[in-house]
Every structure is written in structure tokens, then in C-alpha cells.
Amino acid sequence: MKLSFALLTAIGLSGFAQFTNAADITGTVTLSGTPPAEIEIKPLENDPVCGKMHSGKVTTEFYVVGANKGLGDAIVMLKGVKAAPAAASAAPVVLDQKGCLYVPQIVAIQTGQKLVVKNSDPSTVPMHNVHINPKAGANLSEYSTKISQPQMSGAADLDYTFSAPENFMKFQCDVHPWMFAWVTVVDNPYFAVTDKDGKFTIKNVPPGKYKIVALHRKASPEGVEKDVDVKDSGATADFTLEIK
């Protein structure tokens, strides 16, 4: 009985400790300035196979601007945090090829975390050809012989795991030259991609003072950095990225 009580107490305390030692950073990334208009992806619409998979116009999605000028598809991450690469058991992130487009087009993963590239297109699209463009030396050497990998319709998923941090690594399909996705590899687990209204939540951040940075592939590829003090109750960090 005593043992059980002690065990329950220990579990409760550890849970409380975990609760107090992990908080969320929330915030919004907004865009200042007027973005250029998105354009129709004519090569896709004119493609005899891929064009039939879309009923309306298909446009580029470089600037996803939502309510109150919230900027979607921005990456927010902590900088300078020492962390081990993600465990092999960490949940993989999926990058799909659907309707001759990459979905989603902006992805963030941790070093060591698996990125699964799927091909969900029907057999009328015989193949995609996943061509990655790593810039970091370690990523480049790891994939030097797998820079370009064909993926036939119905073929097995392609798995990628990167060991070096890198912003906006370009994924492209060499068969369909309008297909792009950008994968950001972060060297810690504290990052998020903003939703269509520019909102983000970075979960389970230990309390402390950090540098936090928000990047956008077009508006601010280098990013805007600020300090954030994470308390037990969490923290808020809002960013404004200016399109110059």
C-alpha cells in the first residue's frame, strides 16, 4: 500500500514537473507591405495529364496572406538551442505529390527526423522525379548519389533524413518543372510553420531565454530575430516581416 502511494506520488510529481518545465510559445507572423500578385501555373494547366486533375485555375502560393495580414508558410524556430537529433522513432513528416503539385509546399523537420515523400498521383501520371537541392555539406554528401530519384506511379515512398540544419532546401520534380517544395531542417525540436492566418505554436519549450527567428522564403529568407523569455506559463512572440 505504502509502495503504491509512493509510486503514485512520484508519477504525479514527475508529471507536474514536466508540466512546469514545458511551455508553449505562441504568436503571429504578419506581412507588412503589398505582396506581388500570384500567377497562374500555366505549364500545369496546359499539361495534357496534370491539367485534367484540376478543375479551376491553379496559382502559385508564394505569399499566403490571411486574416489581419497574417503570413502563412513562414518558419518560426528557436536558435542556438543545443539538442540531439530527433530519435529514429520520431513521427515522420509527409510530403505528398498530388495533382502534380507538392503538398504542402513549405515543410520543416528536425535533423534526424524522417521526411517521407509520397506519390499519390494516379497511374495516368506515370512518374515524378524527386530532385533535391541540399546546400549544407553534410546533406549534400549524404545524398550525392540520390540527388534525383524517379518515383513511378504506385512506387514505394522515398525517405529522407538530413543531419545538418538548412533553410529552404528546394525539392523539385524534374518531370513537371512547376512542382516545388521547400524543406527547412532545424537542429532542435522547437519550430513551427505558420498556418494560413500567420499563427504558430511551438510546443514544449523549457522555460528560459532564447533567440527566436521567423523566416519566409520570399519576404525574409534570412529571417527576423528577436529575444523571447519563456516562463512556466509560456510566451508570446509576434513578428512583422516586411516586403521591401
Q: What is the contact surface with other proteins in residues (CB under 8 A)? A: 36-44, 47, 49-50, 60, 62, 125-127, 129, 131, 147-150, 170, 173-178, 180, 218-219, 221, 243-244
Q: Name the grid cell of 42.
A: 500555366
For residue 40, list its beta bridge partners: 59
> Which SS3 state, helix, strand or coil, does residue 219 take?
coil
Q: Which is nearer to other proteins, 23 or 158 (CB)?
A: 158
Task: Pick the closer one to other proteins by CB: 18 or 141.
Answer: 141
Q: Which of 63, 68, 59 is nearest to 30 (CA)?
A: 68
Q: Which is nearer to other proteins, 199 or 218 (CB)?
A: 218
The nearest distance, CB 90 to other proteins, in angstroms, is 30
Closer Cβ to other proteins, 178 or 234, answer by number: 178
- Tell the smallest beta-carbon distance from residue 12 to other proteins (Å): 52
Nearest partner of 142 among 151, 152, 132, 150, judged by Cα: 132
Smallest distance, Å, CB 34 to other proteins?
Answer: 10
> Given the complex with other proteins, which of 205 and 219 has the nearer CB atom?
219
CB of 33 to other proteins, least distance (A): 9
Give the span between the Cα atoms of 150 and 224, in whole angstroms. Answer: 37
Going from the C-alpha of 21 to that of each of 15, 201, 234, the distances in angstroms are 10, 16, 10
Shortest separation between residue 233's beta carbon and other proteins, angstroms: 36
Q: Are the C-beta atoms of 127 and 150 separated by less than 8 Å?
A: yes
Identify residue 69 by its one-letter amino acid code: K
